[in-house]
Amino acid sequence: MADDKYKIQKIDDYRWRIPREGKMRVDGIVYADEQMLKEIQKDESLQQVINVAHLPGIVGYSLGMPDIHWGYGFPIGGVAAFDIDEGVVSPGGVGYDINCGVRLLRTDLYQRDITNKMESLVNTLFANIPSGVGSHRKDLKLSLQDEKNVLRNGARWAVSQGYGTKEDLEHIEEQGCISEADPELVSDRALERGRAQLGTLGSGNHFVEVGYIAEVYDEEIARILGLEKDGITIVVHTGSRGLGYQVCDDSIRVMINASRKYNIELPDRQLCCAPINSPEGREYLAAMACAANYAFANRQMITHWVRESFESALHIGPKESQISLIYDVCHNIAKFEEHIVEGEKKRLCVHRKGATRAFPPNHPHTPDAYKSVGQPVLIPGDMGRCSYVLVGTEKAYADTFGSTCHGAGRVMSRNQAVKVSKGRSIAQELKEKGILVRADSRATLDEEIPEAYKNVTEVVNIVEHAGISKKIAQLKPLCVIKG
């Protein structure tokens, strides 16, 4: 297949090259099958892959995952790595919801244990975990010093306050804390926005979903992960709330000036950036780390209330539920990592925006519990279909800087979804499929209708066939709370 506009070349059934031309510094590589590539071409995300390839110090390729769609600067589903000495860091390569991410919890419960208690469970979760635009907790009062400790210590702070256990920390990317954080570089406005929102879900596509393991594709790896057919799971998807949004907004203003200051030629103003080792670059990375740590703490605290909600709604104790954390991964982040580039080990700044790390077995950053199988990869779908658990691979580490997709990927804007859902009761449609849903507003459900997203199964099959993730289990939803 060829495309006149982008000069796309087929590499194999699951990879497509956009050849370097003009001021592009590297080729673009997009992971998709032929049908999905046609879908991807309906927006401008491929142009964004090309634009990213123009940035100074980019190495390897400008990458697009199969869930790619149009975003701010970088496409959502975009991955790019930059040389530490010659490269740049761009807020558009991380996104507004810094460390939006997903965590997966397992339990000792089975579908039969909660079938008759679903209504109570979803209502209890909805009551205990604030959701919606501007949602905040009335029962948690953070002082300014407390908040700065959250920004420095992430999930470790939450555990130190009784929200979970040290064992949880061993199952979080970066153990729940990025060490380069400096709260003094976070604006007063960002701190103000974040103070009341810790422990809240927020709005949009964020959710807490209770489901069950519908399919197991690799029994041995599933056993090591603690997954068993029909076992009950919980997925938590949220990020850094208003604090992360404000950190990004503040940084973009700085980076627009920095791009001019350092004479960086941009194909798109939204790719504003600064050299990694410049004052502006270092300050953004330190503020970004604060927002990432806030998100780690946020998901950790929500996990605590998930555990309490199960015990309350099901009238059981922690010994009966045994809710434990399998893993927690970042979606929107820029991180320093070592990778092989042209046969040489290099330290790079890897931007993943709407993309998930997928490190292989025996990698130093793969948690000890999963060293033999690879880092867990968590790919949520929409609230009406299913989600997947995969593991990272050597091929991902070699070909994509250890990266894979992060979800289904939108195919409709929120406005389009609202138009399509007009006159429908999305909650009733889901109930008829056996899925109970609670949301802060009807508008949220309308925006998040299942058909607003690509089919996550097709997305996951592409990354598996391409060898950058290995499929382990499929999760199906039973009840969901949305913002």
Residues identified as active-site: 406
Alpha carbon 255 to its chain centroid, in Å, reads 24
The alpha carbons of the chain give a radius of gyration, in whole angstroms, of: 21
CA distance 468 to 20: 23
CA distance 190 to 290: 11
138: exposed, middle or buried (Cβ count in 10 Å: 0-12, 13-18, 19+)? exposed
Count the Cβ atoms, other than its own, within 10 Å of residue 422: 8
282: exposed, middle or buried (Cβ count in 10 Å: 0-12, 13-18, 19+)? middle
Question: For residue 459, how many C-alpha atoms fall within 13 Å in the half-sphere facing its CB?
Answer: 33
Burial 2-11 (b: 16+ CB within 10 A, else e): eeeebebeee
CA distance 335 to 29: 21
Alpha-carbon torsion (173, 178, 183, 189), positive or negative: negative
* Look-up of token digits 């205990």: 128
**DSSP H or E run through 175:** none
CA distance 117 to 290: 39
**DSSP H or E run through 360:** none
- Cβ–Cβ < 8 Å for 75, 69: yes
DSSP 433-481: TT-EEEES-HHHHHHT-GGGB--HHHHHHHHHHTTS-EEEEEEEEEEEE
